A and B are shown apart, each in its own frame.
Chain A
């Protein structure tokens, strides 16, 4: 197999745009791991992925990791899994805790940012940091994905370059993790919007 064979039957207009694109992913959990794999399959040229955490057994209900990866850094496990799908993607991994101080530097070169954190406090910190540092670079966030069913309640709201995917109401219940299908719907909508925004930006 070579690169030309691998990237056969791609959209002749959109695919070259995606190949040139750099996408940031903050968090490699349920949202981040699934969104990263979708973007890698679609043909995004470069992903910058940051997460300080390690894979645990409780992650396997929704995150794109395997039993034999428990204990590994999520960034390491995810880049390994992505390269098994798409060997031609460029990846940079940052196994660090994202803070107000390091976010602008780690993601300074991305064209679009995907917020894929778990905790609301972290989401708020990242969004505020991003809007102050890079108000003109699109950021796609997630809020409200707990539970099952109600797929049609998941929507996208927008203000300038900030996008929020989710139902914006579903709170986690104590002791119950998010569940794979609804997490993956939101991750897929984040990835799908990312692809769309890259093409729209190119078209002006």
Chain B
């Protein structure tokens, strides 16, 4: 089984959390907005949110400047 992270196909594992996916993808930016199947995952819930098989994860890097 696979999931999609920002359009890239990635192997899925049972019990995989949002935090695991960030580590796997080397997403190290401190400020992110993450949506799992279109629903916001608040920053406080990255460790506890489990990704279901076939899910689509959108990870946006928020960068200062405006």
Contacts and interface: CB of A to CB of B under 8 A. Distances in A.
A145 B61 contact: no
A131 interface: yes
Contact of A159 (B58, B62, B65): B58
Contact of A127 (B33, B64, B65): B33
Contacts of B40: 127-128, 131-132, 135
Interface residues of A, number: 37
Interface in B40-66: 40, 42-43, 58, 60-66
Interface string A141-168: 1111110000000000101101010101
A36 to B, nearest CB: 13
Given A124-B43, A131-B40, A117 B31 contact: no
Contacts of A169: 61, 63
B38 A160 contact: yes
A145 B60 contact: no
Interface of A: 27, 29-32, 116-121, 123-124, 127-128, 131-132, 135, 141-146, 157, 159-160, 162, 164, 166, 168-172, 178, 183
B66 A144 contact: no
Given A159-B35, A160-B38, A120 B43 contact: no
B5 interface: no
Contact of A143 (B30, B35, B61): B61
Contact of B63 (A127, A128, A166, A183): A166
Given A123-B31, A124-B32, A128-B33, A172 B38 contact: no
B62 A143 contact: yes
A142 B66 CA distance: 8
